């Protein structure tokens, strides 16, 4: 810390992203990226757009929003395009949460919510998940609060049904943000509720199901007034938040959606096969609606298993917190990568004689 850092940030605890090692080639199952490359049109669109980089990007993302609106069956006015979906969270927390409408989210969820609440200086409450790590819906209904729910949730992979999400939105006086980063892999989307409720924001990302984590593209779907409020924040912070190449990549990806839907189906199939094989090996595997599995096994501590996999060239994610430390989170890769992961796991069980 320098002598110049202001007091407000002295205690800031930053988010710790998953490792992106450069020293060695790993099978990377640690950051929920897609194991498949973007569709062919994406590379071509990026190359073409590179020639226009002397010009600022379109702050309204007009073409991208038009393409996405047509795909989703919403109006362009219902969409806000952002630099990854993390950026929507920043705009939404800043715009809709304060002391009078504090944030509430589960104690087991995407770690960034807490970090962002700390950065913005908004009070928050972490609602305990139950003994199966499932979100308890009754904790989120009623009151003047800003609710954030990842559905499906991370790192558990569990999801709440649409009817439950609807009840939470209906019975809350504050904004409800439903983070659908993983919705392409399972669960029920809250998108059909956006027309009905003026306090619902659905967030999505091109990072996982659309193989574009490195491009940074996310979006919010919400009623026009909420979008306008978040846009005000965006124009006050970074009007050109989506760069030209990313916007072009997004449009190309939307045109080639069939390719991505095929990949998602493959990932779901591989997920179910991997889950069955792990269960066979004695693991407890939470039922997942995402592109990852949250797993634990008697006699295998999470940190030790993570380290043993790393030694064998496979990266997974371990969270060193009281409720999560016995688990590891494993992103679903290609079926070949998962075969290798299962082989390594068998070796570790044997080596540790557990
Ligand atoms: N929400 C959840 C639940 C996530 O796991 C992630 C990925 N870390 C994000 C949002 C953010 O994704 P991105 O900013 O890449 O769109």
85 lines ligand 1 (CB under 6 A): yes
Q: What is the pLDDT of residue 295?
A: 98
Q: What is the pLDDT of residue 73?
A: 97
Residues 304-325 have pLDDT tens digits of 999 999 999 999 999 999 999 9
- Give the strands of the sheet with 200-205, arranged side by side: 79-82, 218-222, 200-205, 176-179, 146-150, 103-106, 124-127
154 lines ligand 1 (CB under 6 A): yes
Q: What is the pLDDT of residue 21?
A: 82
Q: What is the pLDDT of residue 284?
A: 98
* Structural fold of domain 19-36+258-353: 3.90.1150
Q: Strands 200-205, 176-179: parallel, antiparallel or unpaired by DSSP?
A: parallel
84 lines ligand 1 (CB under 6 A): yes
Q: What is the pLDDT of residue 223?
A: 97
Q: What is the pLDDT of residue 334?
A: 98
Where does the pLDDT of residue 16 fall: very low under 50, low under 70, confident under 90, or very high at 90 and above? Answer: confident
Where does the pLDDT of residue 86 fall: very low under 50, low under 70, confident under 90, or very high at 90 and above? Answer: very high
207 lines ligand 1 (CB under 6 A): yes
Q: Rounded to whole angstroms, how far apart are CA atoms 178 and 254?
A: 22
Residues 280-292 have pLDDT tens digits of 999 999 999 999 9
Q: How far is the CA of 354 from the centre of ligand 1 (A)?
A: 34
Mean pLDDT value across the chain: 96
Residues 182-195 have pLDDT tens digits of 999 999 999 999 99
180 lines ligand 1 (CB under 6 A): no
Tokens for 97, please give them. Answer: 């949460």
Which atom of ligand 1 lies at the shortest distance from residue 89's CA?
10
Check whether 236 has a pLDDT greater than 80.
yes
Check whether 131 has a pLDDT greater than 80.
yes
Q: How far is the CA of 213 from the centre of ligand 1 (A)?
A: 9
Domain ranges of the chain: 19-36+258-353, 40-255
Mutation to probe ligand 1, out of 89, 158, 186, 205 (largest number of atoms < 8 A from CB): 205
Q: What is the pLDDT of residue 270?
A: 98
181 lines ligand 1 (CB under 6 A): yes
Residues 31-65 have pLDDT tens digits of 999 999 999 999 999 999 999 999 999 999 999 99
Q: What is the pLDDT of residue 118?
A: 93
Check whether 98 has a pLDDT greater than 90.
yes
Check whether 23 has a pLDDT greater than 90.
no
DSSP state of 288: -
Q: How far is the CA of 121 from the centre of ligand 1 (A)?
A: 21
Average pLDDT over residues 204-218: 98
Check whether 354 has a pLDDT greater than 80.
no
Q: What is the pLDDT of residue 222?
A: 98
Q: How many residues does the structure list for the chain?
A: 354
Q: How far is the CA of 32 from the centre of ligand 1 (A)?
A: 9
Q: What is the pLDDT of residue 336?
A: 98
Check whether 119 has a pLDDT greater than 90.
yes
Q: What is the pLDDT of residue 201?
A: 98
Other beta carbons less than 10 A from residue 215's beta carbon: 23
Where does the pLDDT of residue 150 fall: very low under 50, low under 70, confident under 90, or very high at 90 and above? Answer: very high
Nearest CA to ligand 1 atom 6: 181
150 lines ligand 1 (CB under 6 A): yes
Residues 102-114 have pLDDT tens digits of 999 999 999 999 9
Which atom of ligand 1 lies at the shortest distance from residue 110's CA?
3
Q: How far is the CA of 65 from the centre of ligand 1 (A)?
A: 20
Q: Classify domain 40-255 by CATH architecture.
A: 3-Layer(aba) Sandwich (3.40)
Check whether 331 has a pLDDT greater than 90.
yes
Nearest alpha-carbon partner for 178 in 212, 197, 152, 210: 152
Nearest CA to ligand 1 atom 2: 181
Q: Rounded to whole angstroms, how far apart are CA atoms 101 and 83?
A: 26
């Amino acid at each position: 810390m320098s002598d110049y850092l202001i007091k407000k940030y002295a205690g800031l605890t930053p988010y710790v992203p998953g490792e992106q090692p450069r020293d060695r080639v790993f099978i990377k199952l640690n950051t929920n990226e897609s194991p498949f490359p973007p569709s062919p049109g994406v590379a071509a669109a990026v190359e073409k757009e590179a020639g226009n980089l002397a010009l600022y990007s379109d702050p309204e993302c007009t073409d991208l929003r038009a393409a996405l609106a047509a795909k989703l069956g919403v109006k362009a006015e219902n969409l806000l395009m952002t630099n990854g979906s993390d950026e929507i969270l920043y705009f939404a927390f800043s715009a809709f949460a304060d002391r009078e409408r504090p944030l509430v989210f589960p104690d087991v969820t995407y770690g960034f919510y807490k970090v962002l609440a700390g950065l913005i200086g908004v009070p928050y409450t972490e609602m305990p998940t139950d003994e199966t790590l499932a979100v308890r819906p009754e904790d989120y209904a009623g009151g003047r609060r800003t609710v954030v729910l990842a559905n499906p949730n991370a790192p558990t992979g569990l999801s709440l049904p649409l009817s439950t999400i609807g009840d939470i939105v209906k019975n809350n006086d504050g904004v409800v943000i439903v983070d659908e980063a993983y919705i392409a892999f399972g669960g029920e989307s809250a998108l059909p509720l956006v027309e009905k409720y003026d306090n619902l924001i659905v967030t999505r990302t091109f990072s996982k199901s659309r193989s574009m984590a490195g491009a940074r593209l996310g979006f919010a779907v919400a009623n026009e007034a909420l979008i306008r409020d978040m846009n005000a924040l965006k124009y006050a912070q970074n009007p050109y938040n989506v760069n030209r190449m990313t916007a072009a990549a997004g449009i190309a990806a939307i045109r080639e959606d069939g390719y991505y839907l095929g990949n998602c189906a493959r990932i779901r199939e591989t997920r179910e096969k991997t889950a069955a094989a792990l269960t066979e090996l004695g693991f407890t595997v939470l039922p997942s609606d995402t592109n990852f599995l949250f797993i634990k096994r008697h006699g295998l501590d999470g940190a030790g298993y993570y380290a043993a996999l790393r030694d064998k060239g496979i990266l997974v994610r371990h969270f060193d917190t009281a409720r999560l430390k016995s688990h590891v989170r494993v992103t679903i890769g290609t079926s070949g990568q998962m075969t290798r992961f299962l082989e390594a796991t068998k070796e570790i069980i044997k080596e540790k004689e557990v």
